[in-house]
């Protein structure tokens, strides 16, 4: 997957967009160049917990953390150069080294993720997945 497409998928995930992509958004994402994304939670809706404590926007997520969403909830967050959108009734455990996520353990729920280069391990009890380059 080329670098420009990776940036487009990251931007769409961080922005909370998961609907149809318009040509305007594609042009804008391709024109962004190399951009740093702010770490932590970007969008919160409903009940979202980090390590069993309520989350506020901007809180950082690190390897070893657990993110849980309640019904009718949503959490969009960035860890290093990986972006995640966790939907309602989800429980995600992250593990890795030196700030980089290496393993995602989705115990229950729905997630949209876009990853930077590197190997990732995804653990799920049962799943229906669509993998498109670095997005899952």
Query: CA 104, CA 123: separation in Å to the nearest integer?
Result: 6
- Cα→Cα distances 50→37, 58, 93, 129, Å: 20, 12, 10, 25
Question: What's the pLDDT score for residue 30?
Answer: 46
Contact predicate 86/67, CB 8 Å:
yes
pLDDT by residue (tens digit) across 73-94? Answer: 999 999 888 889 999 999 999 9
Question: What's the pLDDT score for residue 21?
Answer: 41
Question: What's the pLDDT score for residue 32?
Answer: 46
Transcribe 30-45 into DSSP letters.
Answer: HTT-S-PPPPEEEEEE
Contact predicate 115/82, CB 8 Å:
yes
Residues above pLDDT 70, as percent of the chain: 72
1 has a pLDDT exceeding 60: no
Helix, strand, coil shares, percent, the chain, to 5: 15, 40, 50
115 has a pLDDT exceeding 90: no
pLDDT by residue (tens digit) across 17-70? Answer: 444 444 444 444 444 445 667 889 999 999 999 999 999 999 999 888 999 999
């Amino acid at each position: 997957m080329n670098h420009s497409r990776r940036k487009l998928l990251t931007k769409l995930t961080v922005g909370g967009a998961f609907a149809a992509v318009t040509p305007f958004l594609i042009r804008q994402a391709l024109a962004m160049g190399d951009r740093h994304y702010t770490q932590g939670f970007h969008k919160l809706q409903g009940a979202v917990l980090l390590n069993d404590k309520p989350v506020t926007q901007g809180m950082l997520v690190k390897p070893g953390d657990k993110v849980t969403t309640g019904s009718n909830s949503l959490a969009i967050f960035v860890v290093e150069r990986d972006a995640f959108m966790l939907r309602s009734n989800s429980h995600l455990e992250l593990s890795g080294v030196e700030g980089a996520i290496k393993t995602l353990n989705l115990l229950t729920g729905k997630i949209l993720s876009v990853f930077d280069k590197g190997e990732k391990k995804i653990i799920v009890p049962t799943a229906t997945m669509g993998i498109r380059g670095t997005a899952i």
